[in-house]
């Protein structure tokens, strides 16, 4: 029945198909995309309420607050990365598809970043302005958030893959991901602070870029291994 020259989908077609499917799913359920954004905005509102609304206070803590809020929002969105696929059985279908699993996982992570990291980057200027951040610093913030959230999505995919299918998954995921994400937070927030203080900050940008490239090349393999283990 099968002809020897049958058409085998290319290596990247799985990646593209998964990314496209997840984007389509996000489109049909916009709440999943918006909730982390609202969360981000609300955490940023909590700080002035708790610490005080003075201008110095806000300028001083702004970079840190925005970064912590972004990190937590990413964490919230990561929870659902593999869960629905695990629950409806489409994850096991992906595991036995002829597509390389690291690329399939990468496809999901790309779509996750497009629906969580990118919106955060786009919303951050609005919040940053309320924290009295000057325009050029806002650009630095957006750049660090872009590079940082890419790393967070990739690192988070490892944690999400390790905890998928576990009862206490949500709390556990934070416990696994937060220590992993500390370097991103440290570099990201402090780079913005340096920029706000008119100091040289390019080292931080390079470090974040290097970190993003590093996670991009290694994390998909860890995620794939974790997915196989979680589905046993």
Partner 1 sequence: MWKWFHQLASPPHFYRIAPTFSLVLLLPGLALIAYGVYAGLFLAPMDYQQGDAFRIIYIHVPSAYLSLMAYMIMAVAGGIGLIWRMKLAHAVAASAAPLGAWFTFLALATGSIWGRPMWGTWWEWADPRMMSELILLFFYFGYMALRGAIDDTAKADKASAVLALVGVINVIIVHYSVTWWSSLHQGQTIMAKEGPAMDPGMLYPLLANIFGFTLLFGSLILRRTRTEVLFRERRTRWVKEMILAPEGQR
Partner 2 sequence: MTAQLSAENLTLFRGDRCLFRGVGFALNSGELLILEGSNGSGKTSLMKAIVGMLDLEKGVVSWNGMPVAEQRQVFHGALVWTAHRVGLKADLTLVENLRFEAALRPQGSDDLETVLERLEISRLKPLPLRSLSAGQQRRVALARMLLADVPLWLMDEPFTNLDREGRALVMELVKEHLDKGGMCVMAAHQDVEIDAPVKKVVLQ
Which residue, 130 or 231, has its beta carbon nearer to partner 2? 231
| Element holding 230 (H helix, E strand) | helix 202-230
What is the C-alpha to C-alpha distance for residues 120 and 146, in angstroms, rounded to an integer?
A: 9
DSSP 8: P
Under rule CB under 8 A, residue 13 binds partner 2: yes
Residue among 28 and 167 whose Cβ is closer to partner 2:
28
- Which of partner 2, partner 1, none has residue 14 at its interface (CB below 5 to 8 Å by kind)? partner 2
**Site for partner 1 contains 122 (CB under 8 A):** no
Judged by beta carbon distances under 5 to 8 A according to partner kind, the member of partner 1, partner 2, none in contact with residue 48 is: none
Binding partner of residue 92 among partner 2, partner 1, none, CB cut-off 5 to 8 Å per kind: partner 2
Counting contacts by CB under 8 A, is residue 163 touching partner 2? Answer: no
Contact call for residue 167 and partner 2 (CB under 8 A): no
Minimum CB distance to partner 2 smaller for 99 or for 181: 99
For residue 131, how many other CB atoms are within 10 A of its CB?
Answer: 22
**Distance of alpha carbon 139 from alpha carbon 186, whole angstroms:** 18
Q: Is the CB of 116 or the CB of 144 nearer to partner 2? A: 116
Rule CB under 8 A: say whether 207 interacts with partner 1. Answer: yes
- The single residue among 182, 202, 206, 213 that binds partner 1, judged by CB under 8 A, is 182
* Contact yes or no for 166/172 (Cβ under 8 A): yes
Is 65 an interacting residue with respect to partner 1 (CB under 8 A)?
Answer: no
Length of the chain equals: 232
Determine whether 50 is exposed, middle or buried from the number of CB atoms within 10 Å of its CB (0-12, 13-18, 19+): exposed
Closest listed residue to residue 8, CA positions, set 89, 81, 114, 98: 98
Nearer to partner 1, 186 or 213 (CB): 186
Task: Note whether 81 binds partner 1 by CB under 8 A.
Answer: no
Here's the x/- map for partner 2, 95-134, by CB under 8 A: it reads as xxxxxx----------------------------------
Rounded to whole angstroms, the Cα distance separating 186 from 91 reads 34
- Helix/strand/coil for 97: coil
Distance CA 208, CA 181 (A): 12
């Amino acid at each position: 029945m099968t002809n020897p020259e049958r058409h085998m989908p290319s290596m990247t077609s799985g990646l593209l198909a998964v990314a496209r499917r997840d984007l389509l799913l996000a489109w049909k359920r916009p709440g999943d995309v918006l909730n982390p954004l609202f969360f981000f905005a609300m955490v940023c509102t909590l700080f002035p309420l708790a610490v005080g609304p003075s201008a110095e206070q806000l300028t001083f803590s702004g970079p840190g607050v925005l970064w912590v809020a972004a990190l937590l929002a990413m964490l919230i969105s990561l929870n659902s990365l593999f869960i629905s696929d695990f629950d409806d059985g489409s994850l096991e279908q992906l595991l036995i598809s002829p597509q390389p699993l690291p690329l399939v996982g990468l496809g999901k992570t790309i779509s996750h970043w497009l629906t969580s990291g990118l919106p955060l980057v786009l919303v951050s200027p609005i919040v940053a302005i309320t924290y009295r951040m000057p325009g050029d610093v806002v650009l630095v913030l957006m750049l660090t958030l872009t590079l940082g959230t890419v790393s967070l999505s990739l690192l988070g995919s490892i944690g999400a893959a390790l905890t998928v299918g576990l009862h206490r998954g949500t709390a556990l995921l934070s416990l696994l991901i937060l220590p992993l994400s500390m370097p991103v937070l440290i570099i990201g927030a402090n780079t913005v602070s340096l920029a706000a203080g008119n100091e040289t900050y390019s080292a931080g940008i390079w470090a974040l870029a290097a970190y993003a490239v590093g996670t991009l090349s290694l994390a998909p393999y860890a995620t794939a291994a974790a997915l196989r283990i979680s589905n046993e």
